[in-house]
Amino acid sequence: MKKIVATILAGVTLFGYQLTTAKKEKIDITNTYIASIYSKNQVMVATRLMGYIKKMNVEEGDVVKKGEELFEVDPSDIYSMLNQARGAVMQAKSGVLMAEMSYADAKRDYDRFKNLYANGAVSKRDFQKMTLNMKIRKEQVDMAKGMLAQAKAGLERAKAQFKYSKVRSPINGVVTRKMKKVAEMALPGYPVLVLSDLNSIKAKSFVKAGDLDYFKIGMPVKIYVPAVKKYFNAKVSTVIPSADPATHSFVVKYTFTNTKGLIPGMYAKAKVTVAKKEAVLVPFSALTTRGGILGVFVDNNGIAKFTPVKQMSQIGNDIALKGLKGGEKVILYPPANLEDGQKL
């Protein structure tokens, strides 16, 4: 039985090798640049009121829709303003009523004295006093109505302030930064949240001056985003011809053809083709090592020849190599006991 098994294993060793032809092709030589995902439309969300944050409805990374409530500032002070404004309106209405009653009395006196004056029953001086009194009462009515209009405007402002206590999203986007928490003070004009528009996502890299010639507007770029484990197609959209004085690097921006799954702030790698070069391609399964040296076994007229190689890059399931000329028959999945010079 042992003899039969040994014979079978020997048959696999002699006749079980798989061969493939090393292919000579032109391949893309790429450079990889660190990139970051960002939104060109970023909004700083602040409150128009000063007050403590009563409620926070979002966290960093949350996707929000336009009009959605983000946070609320404690409206206690606004309630006080509303009550004061309502009180001022009530007082102004009372003032208008009293002024109109005084004007009505003055108008009746004027009408009575007018008839008496026409009949010579009162002096011209007394009639002029009644006329002047009526005009004064009429002006007081106008002033009271003006004060009522001001009080109503103050009430509307107070109501508007109350509306501002609830801050809503101005865009469809994602919360990329949160600067305040519940119970902390919010001040007018100071951002509480930062929102980024998901419909304007781009990527950018910082590139040294020596590599700037590789980038042409409109050239295709592959951008890998580790967070989603996916490559995205993009194009170079902008090359800013002004270096950062601190890092002496230039900014290159990329536009995506599809941004689904991307969120501002994600880390990325931009793979840019910088040249084309001839190389020999073999399947990854042909690679092996002997004595710590990377190489492949070539079928040299029925003799296994170990040929050292240098790996250039991976292209799909193939490996681009230096050390082969192309056209060689290489052995796939070479067994660990295969030796240089062994008959196949």
pLDDT at site 64: 92
pLDDT at site 5: 36
- Residue ranges and CATH numbers for the domains of the chain are 15-30+277-332 (2.40.420.20), 76-163 (1.10.287.470)
SS3 content of the chain, % helix, strand, coil (to 5): 30, 40, 30
Among the ranges given (53-62, 128-137, 237-246, 261-270), the one the predictor scored with the smallest mean pLDDT: 237-246
DSSP per position, 115-144: HHHHTTSS-HHHHHHHHHHHHHHHHHHHHH
Torsion of CA 97, 102, 108, 114, to 10 degrees: -140
Average pLDDT of the chain to the nearest whole number: 88
pLDDT at site 108: 93
Confidence of residue 312 (pLDDT cuts 50, 70, 90): confident
Q: At residue 2, does pLDDT exceed 70?
A: no
pLDDT at site 30: 84
pLDDT at site 298: 95
DSSP 242: S
Residues forming beta bridges with residue 158, ordered by sequence position: none
Q: At residue 35, does pLDDT exceed 90?
A: yes
Over residues 189-247, the pLDDT tens digits come to: 899 999 999 888 999 999 998 888 889 999 999 999 999 999 999 999 999 987 777 77
pLDDT at site 33: 95
Instruction: Kindly state the average pLDDT of the residues 295-316.
Output: 90
pLDDT at site 205: 95
Smallest CA-to-CA distance from 40 within 238, 217, 223, 234 is with 238
Over residues 164-190, the pLDDT tens digits come to: 889 999 998 889 899 999 999 999 889
| Spatial separation of the C-alpha atoms in residues 121 and 25, rounded to whole Å | 125
Instruction: Kindly state the average pLDDT of the residues 282-304.
Output: 93
Q: Does residue 194 contact residue 176 with C-beta atoms inside 8 Å?
A: yes
pLDDT at site 145: 94
| Spatial separation of the C-alpha atoms in residues 195 and 265, rounded to whole Å | 12
Counting beta carbons within 10 angstroms of the beta carbon of residue 107, is it exposed (0 to 12), middle (13 to 18) or buried (19 or more)? Answer: middle
Over residues 83-131, the pLDDT tens digits come to: 888 898 999 999 999 999 999 999 999 999 999 888 888 899 988 999 9
